[in-house]
Amino acid sequence: MTGAVLQAINGISFAALLFLVASGFTLSFGLMRVVNMAHGAYYLIGGYVGLSVVRATGNFWLAIAAGGIAVVLLGFLVDRFLLRHAGDNHLAQTLLTVGLAFVVGDVALHIWGGDSLKLQVPMFLRGATELPGDIVYPTYRLALVLFGVIVAIVLWLVYRKTQLGAVIRAGVDDREMVAATGINVDRLFVLVSALASFLAGMSGVVGGAFLTLHPGAEWEILVYALVVVIVGGLGSLEGAMIGALIVGLLDAFGRWLLPEFSYFVLFAPMAVLLLVRPRGLFGEAH
């Protein structure tokens, strides 16, 4: 019983990280119709930059900001000079961003090496916390759950309750119409793209403190994020929340019960969904 509870908490804390990664991916797809296969590479670069900042300054919060901002800059350049040429062509976007991810991954390998690296978290987040029911659990991962929930609430409030969110949602539905009402869609795109990049870079830093940063981590996290958005529905923030929870929990129990087949567990939700609801739980036809 304790084992199951422990796995459930594992799953929820992984879900918090998955939500951070997947929300950026799904937001940029929802509004700009851009499939960014380099989203995992953004995560990795953010994590590595954060790692270097922690090593240099010892400040974890600065690392989160630096990782996020570094990726915002990278993302801005990529949008300007690369993705602009792909237009609405998903095939071209996919190949361009896959190529970009190869380049970024290789450069990162030459800078930070091939070992698995982990970020140092601040003193008060180290160690373990005792939970009711005699469960002792790493404090950092509990904090991650809290952080994920806060980010989710803030994103949801902005998305659903503010004027900016309303404009973004309108843009998701029909961006020509939004442009016709006099709203500067280009500026909106830059803003949302920067937000998506920041989320990716920041998740690299917080993720790099409990998973490790290593060559190949960019594809692992990307695939998990993809399954989250496939399950939740592309372009839906609520879908990313539910999807992250489903995938996080399945992954934790999969690793626990069937260690050799833990990846296979990811197959199940996709298969069920494809058969029942190919657009995902919250997905709409685009």
Task: By CB under 8 A, tell whether 127 contacts other proteins.
Answer: no
| DSSP at 213 | B
Q: Please answer whether residues 269 and 231 qualify as being in contact, where contact means their C-beta atoms are separated by less than 8 angstroms.
A: yes
- Tell me: does residue 263 bind other proteins (CB under 8 A): yes
82 binds other proteins (CB under 8 A): yes
Residues 179-218 binding other proteins (CB under 8 A) are none
Choice from 196, 229, 242, 252 touching other proteins (CB under 8 A):
229
Q: Does position 169 bind other proteins by CB under 8 A?
A: no
**How many Å apart are CA 99 and CA 78, to the nearest integer?**
12
Q: How far is the CB of 143 from other proteins (least distance, A)?
A: 29
Q: φ and ψ at 285, to 5 degrees?
A: -70, 130
Look up residue 162 and give its DSSP letter: S
Question: Which helix (DSSP H) or strand (DSSP E) does residue 71 occupy?
Answer: helix 60-81
Among 101, 121, 202, 217, binds other proteins (CB under 8 A): 101
Q: Please report the DSSP string for 108-141 in residue order.
A: HHHHH-SS-B-PPPPGGGSSEEEETTTEEEEHHH
Measured in whole angstroms, how far is the alpha carbon of residue 1 from the centre of its chain? 31
* Residue 115 interacts with other proteins (CB under 8 A): yes or no: no
User: Which of these ranges, 79-87, 136-144, 170-178, 184-192, lies near other proteins under the rule CB under 8 A?
Assistant: 79-87
Candidates 88, 106, 71; CA nearest to 35 is 88
The least distance separating other proteins from the CB of residue 58, rounded to whole angstroms, comes to 32
**Which spans of this chain sit near other proteins (rule: CB under 8 A)?**
29, 35, 82, 85-86, 90-92, 94-96, 98-107, 109-110, 219, 223, 226-227, 229-230, 234, 259-264, 266-267, 270-271, 274-275, 278-279, 286
